[in-house]
C-alpha cells in the first residue's frame, strides 16, 4: 500500500501480530536498472535477511510494464537478498494507471503473462514470484484470462482483490468472483483479499472463496491486532496498547519532524475507524508539527 506500509510500519505491525509474511509498497520500474541504493532505501530489510526486526519475512513488490526491465530489476533484487518478488497488477490509482502500471494492465493478459514469465525466468528457482490483480477493469470479464496467463507463466501464487479497477475501494467486495477464479488457476494458490476486517469476515471470506490464505490490507493498519485476533481468537488489542505502539512508531522513525508527525497522524486517523479514543487523540495533536510537541501532549 503506497505511502502507508513503509519500513517503519512493517516493523511495527509485525511486532503486534503474527504475519506469515508482509509485502513492501510497490517499487516503480520505468526506464532503467535501478542501483542497489534504491532497493536498499525502499526495502531496508534486505540488510537483515529480508526480515523485519521480529523475523517476519518481507517480499519485494515491483510495478511496471516492460518485461525486460522488470526481469532485470527482479534479478538485481534477488542478488541483493530478496526472498520473493511480487508483481503489482492491482493498483487502481490514476497516476499509476496513466503510466501503464498496476490495474491498467488488466486489459492486456498477454503482456501480464510476459512480465510474470520474464521475472520468473530471471530469478533463482528458490525465489518465489507472485502477482496481485483485481477482478478486472469495469467488471470481472477479464479475470479468467488474466488468472490463466499468470498461472501459465509459473507464478507461485496469485492474490486477488475482490473489486474492479473502477471500484477503487468502494463496496461491495465480491468474494464469489474470487471463488470462480480458482477454476482457471491450474493448481496455482489463490490468496483472497478485500474487506477482511474481522475474524467473522475472515471466516466468511475463506468459506466463500475456498482460499486457505488471506491478505489483509487497510484493516491491518486500522486494527493492528487483527491478525492475532483472527489466528488465535483473542480480543483485539486495547487502545492503550495501540497508543503505546503508535508513539513507539513515532519515536523510532528517522527523518524530518514534519514527515514523521505526518505519518503518525495518518495512522492515528486510520485507527479512529476502529478505536473512538484515537479521534480524541487526533484532535489534540492535529495542528502539531514537531515530534517532541506530540510526545509532550500525549503525556498529559
Catalytic residue ranges: 91
Q: Using alpha carbons, list the distances in angstroms from residue 66 to 15, 82, 130, 291.
A: 36, 20, 17, 41
Q: Which three cell numbers stand for residue 216?
A: 489483509
Q: Which three cell numbers mark 29?
A: 520500474
Task: Tell me what percent of the chain is helix, strand and coil, each rounded to the nearest 5.
Answer: 50, 15, 35
| CB-based contact 2:91 (threshold 8 Å) | yes
Coil/strand/helix, residue 87: strand
C-alpha distances in angstroms, 120 versus 22, 75, 116, 178?
Answer: 20, 9, 6, 24
Q: Is 180 annotated as a binding residue?
A: no
Report whether 61 belongs to an annotated binding site. yes
In 10 A of CB 29, how many CB atoms? 22
Beta-ladder partners of 22: 58
Q: Measuring CA to CA, which residue among 3, 54, 15, 51 is closest to residue 244? A: 15
Coil vs helix vs strand at 268: helix
Three-point CA angle 270, 275, 277, nearest 5°: 105
Contact present, 165 and 92 (Cβ < 8 Å): yes
281 annotated to bind ligand: no
List, in sequence order, the alpha helices (H) in 30-129.
Answer: 36-42, 67-79, 94-97, 109-122
- Annotated ligand binding at 134? The verdict is no
193 in a labelled binding site: yes
Is 195 annotated in a binding site? The answer is yes
Residue 101 assigned to a binding site? no
> Cα separation of 70 and 74, whole Å?
6
Q: List residues forming the annotated binding site for FMN.
A: 61, 132, 193-195, 217-218
Q: List residues forming the annotated binding site.
A: 61, 132, 193-195, 217-218
Amino acid at each position: 500500500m503506497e505511502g502507508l506500509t513503509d519500513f517503519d510500519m512493517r516493523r511495527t505491525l509485525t511486532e503486534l501480530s503474527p504475519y506469515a509474511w508482509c509485502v513492501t509498497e510497490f517499487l516503480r520500474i520505468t526506464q532503467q536498472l535501478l542501483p542497489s541504493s534504491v532497493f536498499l532505501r525502499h526495502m531496508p530489510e534486505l540488510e537483515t535477511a529480508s526480515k523485519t526486526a521480529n523475523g517476519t519475512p518481507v517480499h519485494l513488490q515491483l510495478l511496471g510494464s516492460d518485461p525486460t526491465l522488470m526481469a532485470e530489476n527482479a534479478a538485481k533484487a534477488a542478488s541483493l537478498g530478496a526472498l520473493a518478488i511480487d508483481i503489482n497488477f492491482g493498483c487502481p490509482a490514476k497516476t499509476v494507471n496513466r503510466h501503464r502500471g498496476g490495474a491498467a494492465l488488466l486489459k492486456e493478459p498477454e503482456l501480464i503473462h510476459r512480465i510474470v514469465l520474464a521475472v520468473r525466468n530471471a530469478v533463482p528457482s528458490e525465489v518465489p514470484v507472485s502477482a496481485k490483480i483485481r477482478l478486472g477493469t469495469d467488471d470481472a470479464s477479464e479475470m479468467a484470462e488474466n488468472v490463466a496467463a499468470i498461472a501459465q507463466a509459473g507464478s507461485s501464487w496469485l492474490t486477488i482483490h475482490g473489486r474492479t479497477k473502477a471500484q477503487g475501494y468502494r463496496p461491495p467486495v465480491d468474494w464469489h468472483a474470487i471463488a470462480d477464479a480458482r477454476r482457471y488457476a491450474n493448481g496455482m494458490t489463490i490468496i483472497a483479499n478485500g474487506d477482511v476486517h474481522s475474524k467473522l469476515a475472515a471466516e466468511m471470506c475463506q468459506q466463500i472463496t475456498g482460499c486457505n490464505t488471506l491478505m489483509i490490507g487497510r484493516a491491518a493498519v486500522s486494527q493492528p491486532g487483527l491478525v492475532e485476533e483472527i489466528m488465535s481468537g483473542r480480543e483485539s488489542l486495547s487502545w492503550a496498547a495501540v497508543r503505546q505502539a503508535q508513539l513507539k512508531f513515532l519515536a523510532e522513525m528517522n527523518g524530518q519532524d514534519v514527515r514523521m508527525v505526518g505519518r503518525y497522524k495518518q495512522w492515528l486517523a486510520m485507527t479512529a475507524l476502529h478505536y473512538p479514543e484515537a479521534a480524541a487523540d487526533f484532535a489534540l495533536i492535529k495542528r502539531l508539527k514537531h515530534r517532541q510537541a506530540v510526545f509532550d501532549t500525549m503525556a498529559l
